[in-house]
Amino acid sequence: MSGLNVTWTRGDGQTFAVDGSAMGLVSATGLNTPNLEVYTQKNAQGDGDLVTGRRVGSRTLEFTCKARYASLNAVLLRAIPSFFIAAQTYGIEIDRSGDKRYAADCLLESLEIPAEGAGVPLSVQLSFLMPEGYFISSDSFGKNIAEIEGRCGYPFAARGLYGRVYGLYAFAQTVYLDNDGDAEAYCMAVLRARGQVTYPKLIAGGGYVRVLTPMQGNDILTIDGKTKSVTLNGVNLASKLDKASDFQSLVFGLGTNHIGFSADVGANLLDVYVYYNKRFLGA
């Protein structure tokens, strides 16, 4: 398939690519076939049904790949069954002429290598369960919204007659982020303290998540909007949350969203890295 490459990343970090070098992609199904589920119940009186729910369910992704040369058959015949195994999960990256989308935590459902005549390039048929139902963007933003960009050091000899910039905030304490995907996106923030910080607070979507514990230098606080969890250096801090904390505020709707941070003391001593993946129905 021209312009379409696939890379599988196994749970242990190993990768296998079908990019036209050793193998090429013959066909791929399920990439643009979302499993849209609508639940109804019949009205007790009158015509029509009552819609009781709707969701995006899991789907199956199927790939047919073919070796570029028959001389590669022997190597691929050993490598493919060793790489694709039931005990692992797989991330599947779909690269469509440079536009990349990613299916996370996929499970191998079937692997078939049909027997063909000598001299015929080997082909393989793969099927995966995609539990999430959505593809996600490969870029997760991952920027420090508290970053200060340095502009000069000391000693500093100034020869100009005009004003000078000593440092520049690359981001404000509140930034605006776009979600142009097909569904809500979950935000995760990683806060690193460069000194003592009292009661850090992440602010988004008209709400906030505030942690009632101090941070010391090099402490790492992780606030995850998808799992609705907060950890400090890997230790769960559910009991230290401000009671008004609202994790729903960390779910980015379609369009422009804002996120910021503060603290009772020491907000200027925080690095705040924000991560979010846009979600798409197709790849």
What are the E-state strand segments in 121-254?
123-130, 135-137, 141-144, 148-150, 167-169, 174-179, 185-193, 197-204, 207-210, 214-215, 220-224, 229-232, 235-236, 251-252
Question: Can you tell me the distance from the alpha carbon of 154 to that of 166, in angstroms, rounded to the nearest whole number?
Answer: 10
What CATH code is carried by the domain that includes residue 172? 2.60.120.860
Domain of 256?
A: 141-280
Number of domains in the chain: 2
The confidence score (pLDDT) of residue 172 equals 66
Query: Same structural domain for residues 132 and 146?
Result: no
Chosen domain end from 137, 167, 196: 137
Task: Name 20's Cβ contacts closer than 8 Å, sequence gap at least 6.
Answer: 5, 68
Query: Same structural domain for residues 82 and 203?
Result: no
**Cα 130–Cα 104–Cα 191 angle in degrees, nearest 5:** 150
Query: Same structural domain for residues 129 and 238?
Result: no
Chosen domain end from 84, 117, 137: 137
The 3-state DSSP class for residue 98 equals coil
Query: Same structural domain for residues 172 and 119?
Result: no
Query: Same structural domain for residues 145 and 129?
Result: no
Query: Same structural domain for residues 163 and 253?
Result: yes
Where does 61-111 have alpha helices with state H?
A: 73-83
Query: Same structural domain for residues 147 and 273?
Result: yes
Query: Same structural domain for residues 119 and 250?
Result: no
Query: Same structural domain for residues 8 and 110?
Result: yes
Tens-binned pLDDT, residue by residue, of the chain (283 aa): 778 999 999 999 999 999 999 999 999 999 999 999 999 999 988 899 999 999 999 999 999 999 999 999 999 999 999 999 999 999 999 999 999 999 999 999 999 999 887 899 999 999 999 999 999 999 999 999 998 655 555 555 555 555 555 555 556 678 999 999 999 999 999 999 999 999 999 999 899 999 999 999 999 999 999 999 999 999 999 999 999 999 999 999 999 999 999 999 999 999 999 999 999 999 9
Chosen domain end from 94, 121, 137: 137
Query: Same structural domain for residues 145 and 267?
Result: yes
What CATH code is carried by the domain that includes residue 44? 2.40.30.200
Query: Same structural domain for residues 160 and 269?
Result: yes
Query: Same structural domain for residues 85 and 39?
Result: yes
Question: Can you tell me the distance from the alpha carbon of 47 to that of 43, in angstroms, rounded to the nearest whole number?
Answer: 7
